[in-house]
Chain A
C-alpha cells in the first residue's frame, strides 16, 4: 500500500511535484495530531471548569438576594 502524497511548489521554478510521504513524516503527523488532541482536551477541560465555577458563583450570589441584572452587571 502506498503512502499519501503531498504537493510541493518550487517558487523559483514554478514546478509542482507530487511526493509520497515517508514513513517518518506519517509518524510525525500522527504524533503531532496526538499532541494537539491532548492540548485541546486540556483547554476544553479548563473552559468547562471555568463555566462550572461561574455558574456556581452566580447561584450563590442569587441566594444572597442579588437579582439577575445585578449579577450580570458584576460579571461584565
Chain B
C-alpha cells in the first residue's frame, strides 16, 4: 500500500496539441500514476501510452475489457501500445473523459514494465464507454519519458489536463 503520493508535474493545455509528454521523470519513486482529463478534436476514440519514446510496433502488448452501456467486449493486442478512451469531438460539448494510468516499478532496470489503465467517457447519449486495460512494455530500462498520444489524426484539445504523481512504498 502506497504511503506517499507526490505530484511530480502537471499541465492544462491552452491550445490543441498532438501529444503530451512528461520527460526527465525522476527515478526516486516506486510507482507512477497519471490522472488525465481529456477530449479530442476528432471522432477517434483511442489514445496510446508510450514509454521512453519507444513507438515501435511489437514493443507493447495488452488485454482489455470494454463496456458501452449497451454491449461489452474484450480483446488483446500484440502490435499496438496500451490504449484508452477519451471524449471525442462529437460528444456533448465541453465534456471530458477521465483516465487513470498506473505504472508499476517504473525505475527498475531489469524487468519489463507493466501498467494498467482505467478510462471512462462522458456524453449525453445512449452509449458512453468505459475501458480497462493492462499490459506491458518489453523495455527494461527505467522509464524516464511518458507520452500520451491520441490515435492519429486526433489531437488533444484546450483544457485537457494531465497530472503525473510519484508513489513511494515506504
Contacts and interface: CB of A to CB of B under 8 A. Distances in A.
B64 to A, nearest CB: 10
A29 B149 contact: yes
Contacts of A35: 57, 79-80
A7 B10 CA distance: 11
B45 to A, nearest CB: 9
Given A7-B11, A9-B23, A35-B57, A47 B73 contact: yes
Contacts of A18: 17
Contacts of A10: 9, 23-24
A58 B55 CA distance: 44
A70 to B, nearest CB: 24
B79 A7 contact: no
A57 B48 CA distance: 38
Interface residues of A, number: 24
B18 A9 contact: no
B18 A5 contact: yes
A67 interface: no
A11 B8 contact: yes
Interface in B67-86: 73, 75, 77, 79-81, 83
Interface string B107-144: 00000000000000000000000000000000000000
B25 interface: yes
A18 B19 CA distance: 10
A7 B75 contact: no
B152 A9 contact: no
Given A32-B55, A32-B152, A47-B73, A9 B26 contact: no
Interface of A: 4-14, 16, 18, 21, 28-30, 32-33, 35-36, 39, 43, 47
The 9 closest A-B pairs by CB, nearest first: A33-B152, A29-B152, A4-B18, A12-B24, A8-B21, A6-B19, A11-B9, A7-B17, A6-B18
